Amino acid sequence: MGAYIARRLWQTIPTLGGVILLVFILFNWVGGDPALVLAGKVPDPAQIENIRRQLGLDQPWWIQLWIFVGQVFTFDFGRSWSTNQLVSEVLLTRVGPTLTVMVPMLVLETLLAVALALLVAYVRGSLTDRTVMFLTTVAMSISFLVYIIVFQWLLGFRLDWFPVQGWSNDLWTNLTVYAPLPVLLGVLVSVAPSLRLYRSFFLDEIGQDYVRTARAKGLAENRVMLRHVLRNAMIPILTYVGIGLPGLFVGSFLLEVFFSIPGLGREVIESVNRSDFPVIKAITVYLAIVTMSVNLLVDVLYRVADPRVSFK
């Protein structure tokens, strides 16, 4: 296992190199000129030139690339071009609010989807199954934006069950007061596709010979479902959850904007609007690293879920 992890870590280096190159090309050749945005309402050529020089945009591309590589490996992306705040400080202050919303959302969504999927898979073809499938189809057909607009108005304003928006500096207040509505909406939106997918995983397992054998041996249904079916379906479920894990760290832009949550998703959008490349570059690279780490973690977890899995 140690050798496997070492090999995987070694493989991250060329992947990260590719990410660095791609991000660099995207921002330096495809993106707009940030000096024009920063030069203000009445830009004059000398001012634009001065900004380009200060930001290092007048340097040859290979020097700019080298500086970028250095930033990635030292985790020092300098300061935001629009707010002059340290990029590391931007990331550290933004990741907390994002995780405060996204972690409960992922946990609730996964538990709910797995439980419901197991239930409807068990009663496959029944009225309950058909009703749940119909509801999930409807739920998936509606845009997330519509959910937010409608439920913010209904639950936040009309019924006054939750605050319309807001955030505080206290984690407990955020978890109990400000996060519940965004979390609820996030769960409502994400549970439908997960439920359908997990149901198909469970149905695949229910049709396997070992399930028939277990039932023939007279095992109780709940034991068959929870001990055998659930366990064997965990590998594809883990894969699916793993794919979504990096998203935890960038948050949901829509939720953060509508509920005034000072998270990373909102930061990305603001940074793009202001051509704040240091922040965007840092978040992109950081997300790539998180994705690679999570993928490795999920691969390791496969073995925990299923001892038959071996590392090669």
Partner 1 sequence: MLAEPGRGSRIVARLASLLLACLSGLAGAQAAATEPKVLRFAFRSVETGFDPQRVDDVYSSAVCNEIFEPLLEFDYFARPAKLVPGVAVAVPAAEDGGRTYTFRLKPGIYFADDPAFGGKRRELTAADAAYAIKRLRDPRNRAPYAWLFLNNLTGLDELHDEALKSGKFDYDRPIAGIEVVDRYTLRLRLKDPDFTFLYRLTLPQTAPVAREVITAYGEDTMSHPVGTGPFRLAEWTRRQKIVLVRNPGYRGLVLDTTYADPNLPEHRQVIAELQGKTLPQLDRIEIYPMDTDQPRFLSFMSGAHDLIQELPVSFIGEAVPAGNLAPALAAAGVRKQQVVDTSVWYAQFNMEDPVVGGYTPERVALRRAIAFAFDRDQAIAVLEKGQGAPAYGPIPPGVVGYDPAFVTDQMDYDPARAVALLDMYGWIDADGDGWRDQPDGAPLTIDYMGTAGSATRHYAGMWERSLRRVGIRLQARAVQFSDQLRDRKAGKYMMAAGAWTADWPDGQNFLALLYGPNAPDLNDTRFRLPAYDRLYERSLQMPDSPERDLLYREMTRLMLVYAPWRLLTYRKWTHLNYPWVLGYMKHPMYQTRLLYLDVDPVARRRAQAN
Residues that bind partner 1 (CB under 8 A): 31-34, 36-47, 50-51, 54, 79, 82-85, 93, 149, 152-153, 156-157, 160, 163-167, 169, 257-262, 266-267, 269-270, 273-275
Rank residues 15 and 47 by Cβ distance to partner 1 and give the closer one.
47
Q: Name the minimum Å distance from CB 82 to partner 1.
A: 5
Rank residues 271 and 291 by Cβ distance to partner 1 and give the closer one.
271
Rank residues 41 and 308 by Cβ distance to partner 1 and give the closer one.
41
CA–CA distance, 221 with 275 (Å, rounded to integer): 58
Rank residues 39 and 192 by Cβ distance to partner 1 and give the closer one.
39
Rank residues 112 and 155 by Cβ distance to partner 1 and give the closer one.
155
Contact residues for 26 (Cβ-Cβ < 8 A; gap 6+): none
CA–CA distance, 251 with 271 (Å, rounded to integer): 15
Rank residues 15 and 50 by Cβ distance to partner 1 and give the closer one.
50
Q: Name the minimum Å distance from CB 207 to partner 1.
A: 47
Q: Name the minimum Å distance from CB 22 to partner 1.
A: 19
Query: What SS3 string covers the chain?
Result: CHHHHHHHHHHHHHHHHHHHHHHHHHHHHHCCCHHHHHCCCCCCHHHHHHHHHHCCCCCCHHHHHHHHHHHHHHCCCCECCCCCCEHHHHHHHHHHHHHHHHHHHHHHHHHHHHHHHHHHHHCCCCHHHHHHHHHHHHHHHCCHHHHHHHHHHHHHHHCCCCCCCCCCCCHHHHHHHHCHHHHHHHHHHHHHHHHHHHHHHHHHHHCCHHHHHHHHCCCCHHHHHHHHHHHHHHHHHHHHHHHHHHHHCCCCHHHHHHCCCCCHHHHHHHHHHCCCHHHHHHHHHHHHHHHHHHHHHHHHHHHHHCCCCCCC
Q: Name the minimum Å distance from CB 65 to partner 1.
A: 21
Q: Name the minimum Å distance from CB 54 to partner 1.
A: 6
Rank residues 71 and 232 by Cβ distance to partner 1 and give the closer one.
71
Q: Name the minimum Å distance from CB 151 to partner 1.
A: 11
Q: Name the minimum Å distance from CB 25 to partner 1.
A: 17
Rank residues 116 and 264 by Cβ distance to partner 1 and give the closer one.
264
| 251's tokens | 């948050």
CA–CA distance, 37 with 16 (Å, rounded to integer): 30
Q: Name the minimum Å distance from CB 42 to partner 1.
A: 4
